[in-house]
A and B are shown apart, each in its own frame.
Chain A
Amino acid sequence: MTLTEIGESRVNGYLFVLERSLRSFLPLEVVRDAVREIESHVRERVAAADGAPNEREALERILAELGPPLRVAQAYSAERTVDEAVATGRVVPMLRAVWTLALRTFVGSAIATGLFSAYAAGIGFLVIAALKPIFPNNVGLIGRNGGPWTLGAQFPLPPGATVHGGYWIIPVSIACGVGVLVFAHTTTRQYLTSWGKRRRPEL
């Protein structure tokens, strides 16, 4: 099947959307190579098609089998979680990328343990800040029989344990939680960026 001008426009439109989608998280040279390969696929399919029942339907069938450009781009994204995480800086892609690296190497799993612990600690501080107004007698700096105080919550409070401090624990916990989360997020991004740079020559 030889494409008319309208068919060519449809193919170019598909490739344009794909390229724009890929550009948001892939280096330009990788995008060019990927788009070239997808275009090769489309041209090959078009050349082999008989154009029945008409060009429009035949072409739409080819593009449907290939998949919507956004879905193809997402597939590239899934294969490049680290690149996506670094490019967007969003929490979920970053945690997914850290998890992916953790499964690959021992060092990656050790770093992931540290980062996930930091995220958990940050969330823990915020949980304490949220629980304090609801359970003022169970949340705060808890001391027992003159022993060291620990920050947390206990339900029920053990015999001999007392909750020290007051509601000032709320702003302190919020500050600590936000601080730890920002630190964890920044460190995660730096880690993924350095990992991505080390891998870049392999692309």
Chain B
Amino acid sequence: MSHETWQEQLRRGSLDLAILLTVSDGPRYGLAIIQHLEAFTDLVVTEGTIYPILGRLTREGLLAAEWVEGEAPHPRKYYSLTRAGIKRLNTMKAEWRAFAEKIERLMTSSERRAS
């Protein structure tokens, strides 16, 4: 596997978690989600590809979507976490932390042996 493929897989694998985290503090519309992700991460490579993921997470019942009109000159589609989404987010957070901790331990051990 090339380095680029590995990076791409890492990015894709963490996007779901990043999106769920972004809407965890309240409903956000698509562009606001993208801007939040861009402010904290470099996970968004092509803005338009975030929307299909939002659609899938909605189909999976993790997000609820609602069109809001009148707030801006154009309608905005807001996404918020559902109860299932909150549950999934908590599980993903715990798994991510446990995973990151193990890799960190492995890297520390490897660096200690090397030095």
Q: Residues on A close to B: CB < 8 A?
A: 30, 34, 36-41, 43-45, 47, 65-67, 69, 71-72, 75-76, 78-80, 199, 202-203
Contact = CB atoms under 8 A, between A and B. Distances in A.
B46 interface: yes
B73 A43 contact: yes
A67 B47 contact: yes
Interface in B58-72: 59, 61, 67, 72
Contacts, number: 74
B49 A72 contact: yes
Contact of A79 (B31, B56, B75, B77): B56
B74 A79 contact: no
Q: Is the interface of A mostly helix, strand, loop or mixed?
A: helix
A75 B76 contact: no
B52 interface: yes
A41 B51 CA distance: 10
Given A67-B46, A203-B59, A43 B74 contact: yes
Nearest to A199: B59
Q: Is the interface of B mostly helix, strand, loop or mixed?
A: helix
B75 A36 contact: yes
Nearest to B50: A75
Interface residues of B, number: 22
Contacts of B77: 36-37, 40
Contacts of B53: 75, 79
A44 B51 contact: no
B30 A71 contact: no
Nearest to B34: A41
A34 B47 contact: no
A41 B44 CA distance: 15
Choose among B46, B73, B75 the residue with the greatest number of A CB atoms under 10 Å from its CB. Answer: B46
B49 A40 contact: no
Choose among B30, B46, B51 the residue with the greatest number of A CB atoms under 10 Å from its CB. Answer: B51
A40 B59 contact: no
Nearest to B45: A67
B74 A71 contact: no
A79 B73 contact: no
Contacts of B49: 67, 71-72, 75
Interface in B16-55: 29-31, 34, 46-49, 51-53, 55
**Lowest 8 A-B CB distances belong to which pairs?**
A72-B48, A67-B46, A75-B49, A67-B48, A79-B52, A43-B74, A76-B52, A79-B56
B69 to A, nearest CB: 10
A75 B52 contact: yes
B31 A78 contact: no
B59 A202 contact: yes
B84 to A, nearest CB: 13
A38 B31 contact: no
A75 B48 contact: yes
